[in-house]
């Protein structure tokens, strides 16, 4: 079965500093990878996704992620964070093999705390 591990439960960072949120997944024949963001008291919204093609994926709000098949990782990065980026971030994987149902397996979440 697929699994996702987010290596940091909390990441504190100062405003305008770069940030990386780490995500590793269990290996599979083919996977689709996602990052979702959850602002306080809201539902999740999609930041970016990797389905195929270029391993560097750009998303909304200046975020990007790199798919690394050999390391089974999909780390999220932003070169300069803002206070408004304070939120919880979830990495998720969907099994792209035969019989795929589109079910998502989520990581435990990483809380990004941006300090002034």
Residues found near other proteins in the complex (CB under 8 A): 4, 6, 9, 32, 34, 36, 42-46, 49, 51, 90, 92, 94, 100-109
Which lies closer to other proteins via its Cβ, residue 51 or residue 83? 51
Query: Cβ(97)–Cβ(114) under 8 Å?
Result: no
Q: Cα–Cα distance between 115 and 1 in angstroms, integer?
A: 38
CB of 65 to other proteins, least distance (A): 15
CB of 99 to other proteins, least distance (A): 10
Looking at the DSSP bridge assignments, the partners of residue 11 are 112
């Amino acid at each position: 079965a697929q699994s996702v591990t987010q290596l940091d439960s909390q990441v504190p960072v100062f405003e305008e500093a770069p940030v990386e949120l780490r995500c590793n997944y269990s290996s599979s024949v083919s996977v689709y990878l996602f990052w979702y963001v959850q602002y306080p008291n809201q539902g999740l919204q999609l930041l970016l996704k990797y389905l195929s093609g270029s391993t560097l994926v750009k998303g909304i709000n200046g975020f990007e992620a790199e798919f690394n098949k050999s390391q089974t990782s999909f780390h999220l990065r932003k070169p300069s964070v803002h206070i408004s980026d304070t939120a919880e971030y979830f990495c998720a994987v969907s099994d792209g093999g035969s019989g795929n149902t589109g079910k998502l397996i989520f990581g435990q979440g990483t809380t990004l705390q941006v300090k002034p």
